[in-house]
Structure 1
Amino acid sequence: MKKIGFLSFGHWADDRGSQVRSASDVLLQSIDLAVAAEQMGVDGAYYRVHHYARQLASPFPLLAAVGARTTSIEIGTGVIDMRYENPLYMVEDAGSADLISGERLQLGISRGSPEQVIDGWKHFGYQPAEGESPSDMARRHTEVFLRMLDGEGFAQPNPRPMFPNPPGLLRLEPQSPGLKERIWWGAGSNATAIWAAQLGMNLQSSTLKDDETGEPFHIQQAKQIRAYREAWKEAGHARSPRVSVSRSIFALTNDQDRMYFGNGSKDQDQIGFIDQTRSVFGRGYADEPDRLIEQLRRDEAIAEADTLLLTVPNMLGVDYNVHVLESILTHVAPALGWR
């Protein structure tokens, strides 16, 4: 059994063929897709976060709205770029959204990916400390965020407050006590996966990672997951961790599917460079259900993960994306033992 969720990149564009013409469209359709996904038995609704782009940006209003419209589906991000975040304010936002949803948030956070502008976090008021890289700053923000989620008091109360205070140092409010166990780190390398395990975060492994061995992507990703789990065991955490991978997977069941995804253009890994680091981008999967099942059986990282996030073409609209998800749940997941 696997948990199966969708991951929306949240694009919008006023272009021919787009069913998502505005920021309003993408926000409202993101909520509608989560509602429909829950009704068909999908386990998670996850959203990408990008700044300076015609995509979903500030996640917490959307997460809270999805939480208010649904009752059981997990609601998450993949990922929030911690270079841009005030970790204390984020505790308040995340706690509020988690409580609205009935404690269903699964927050993916990370150092983030290259953005649309140069050093965009500077415009948000953040600057690496002396000797820090932007990645170091993201990890520092993360460590502060995790400490604040513990709910310990740290701020000296005003001796003449407007409202009565509880005794002792004050903490951030509202707190959602179980949220810390539902924080995930999006790791692009084996080293950051191990670091996430040491801090007690779950692991999100996406469709790209540092090319550390030259092996096929799914093999490198499976090794990353095993290294993460070993580090988790060595850290002595009491609970079992969760691990997700994301994939573009399309079951070709009608002519529309074949028109959109039947050209085989993404059926091989790709090599590229991100911030001067050689990276491997995992292949997509699109085929008739029987052949698709056989291909997916050979993906070692999917086999290692307990959660699979299906990237969806959100600009094709809610109805088509419901069809995409339903095709996987009906024609693929049962044969692979995911359902």
Structure 2
Amino acid sequence: MKNIGFLSFGHWANERGSQVKSASDVLLQSIDLAQVAEDLGLDGAYFRVHHYAQQLAAPFPLLAAIGARTQRIEIGTGVIDMRYENPLYMVEDAGAADLISGGRLQLGISRGSPEQVVDGWKYFGYQPGEGETSADMARRHTEVFLDQIEGRGFAKPNPRPMFPNPPGLLRLEPQSAGLRERIWWGSASNATAIWAAEKGMNLQSSTLKEDEGGAPFHIQQAEQIRIYRAAWAKAGHTRQPRVSVSRSIFALMNDDDRMYFGNGSKSADQIGVIDNMRAVFGRGYAAEPDKLIDQLKGDEAIAAADTLLLTVPNMLGVDYNAHVIESLLTHVAPALGWR
């Protein structure tokens, strides 16, 4: 059995063929798709976060709205770029969204990916400290966020406050019990997977990874998961961690499916350079259900993970994406033991 969710990049474009022509469209359709996915039996609704682009950016209003409109489905991100975040304000936003959803937030955070703007975080008011890289700054923001989400008091109270204070140092509010265990780190390397384990975060491993040895993507990713779990055990955490991988998987059921995804253009790993890092980009899967099942049986990283995030083509609209999700849940997942 696996938890299965969708991961939306949240694109919009006012162009021919797009069913998502504006920011309003993508926000409202994201809420609708989460509701439909819950009705279909999917376990999670996850969203990418990118700045300066016609994509979803500020995640917490959307997560809170989905939380208010659904009852069961997990709600998450994959990932929030911590170079851009005020970690204290983020504690308040995350606590509020989690309380609205009844404790269903699964918050993926990370150092982030290349953005549309050079050093875009500086326009948000952030700069690396002396001797720091922007990745160091992201991890520093993360450590502050993790510390304060625990709910410990740290701020000296005003001796003459507007409202009565509880005794002792004050903490940020609202706090949501259990949220600390539902924070995930998006890792593209073995080293950052170890760091995530040491910090007690779940692991999100995406569709690309630093090429560390030249093996196929799914084998390198499965090794990263083993390294992460070993580091988790060594750190002495008492709970079991969660691990997710993301994949583009499409069951070709009709002519529309074959038109959109049947050309085989992403049926092999790709090698590229991202932020001066040699990376291996994982293949996509698109085939008739019986062939798709055979292909997916050979993916070692999917087998190793407990959570699978299906990247969805959100610009094709809610109805088509509901068809994509239902096809996989009905015709593929049971044969692989995921359902």
TM-score under structure 2 length normalisation: 1.00
In the TM superposition, residue 122 of structure 1 has moved relative to its aligned partner by 0.1
Q: Which residue of 2 aligns with 1:286?
A: 286
SS in 2 for 1:280: strand
Cα displacement string for residues 77-108 of structure 1 (whole angstroms, at most 9, x for unaligned residues): 00000000000000000000000000000000
Give structure 1 stretches of 5+ with no counterpart. Answer: none
In the TM superposition, residue 275 of structure 1 has moved relative to its aligned partner by 1.3
Distance 2:61 2:22 in 1: 17
SS in 2 for 1:150: coil
Distance 1:10 1:42 in 2: 18
Distance 1:287 1:302 in 2: 17
Matched, 1:17 2:12: no
Q: Which residue of 2 aligns with 1:7?
A: 7
Q: Which runs of 4+ in 1 moved over 2 A?
A: none
What letter matches 2:261 in structure 1? F
Distance 1:188 1:88 in 2: 26
What letter matches 1:162 in structure 2? M
Q: Which residue of 2 aligns with 1:203?
A: 203
Distance 1:106 1:275 in 2: 27
In the TM superposition, residue 168 of structure 1 has moved relative to its aligned partner by 0.2
Distance 1:40 1:117 in 2: 38
1:45-124 equivalences in 2 (<5 Å):
45-124=45-124
Distance 2:149 2:118 in 1: 31
SS in 1 for 2:209: strand
Distance 1:177 1:234 in 2: 26
Q: Which residue of 2 aligns with 1:315?
A: 315
Q: Which residue of 2 aligns with 1:225?
A: 225
SS in 1 for 2:30: helix
SS in 2 for 1:266: coil
Cα displacement string for residues 50-99 of structure 1 (whole angstroms, at most 9, x for unaligned residues): 00000000000000000000000000000000000000000000000000
Aligned length: 339
**TM-align CA RMSD:** 0.3
Q: Which residue of 2 aligns with 1:235?
A: 235
Q: Which residue of 2 aligns with 1:169?
A: 169
Q: Which residue of 2 aligns with 1:246?
A: 246
Q: Which residue of 2 aligns with 1:125?
A: 125
In the TM superposition, residue 276 of structure 1 has moved relative to its aligned partner by 1.0
1:172-191 equivalences in 2 (<5 Å):
172-191=172-191
Distance 2:203 2:276 in 1: 24
Matched, 1:271 2:271: yes
Distance 1:23 1:40 in 2: 26
Cα displacement string for residues 116-162 of structure 1 (whole angstroms, at most 9, x for unaligned residues): 00000000000000000000000000000000011000000000000
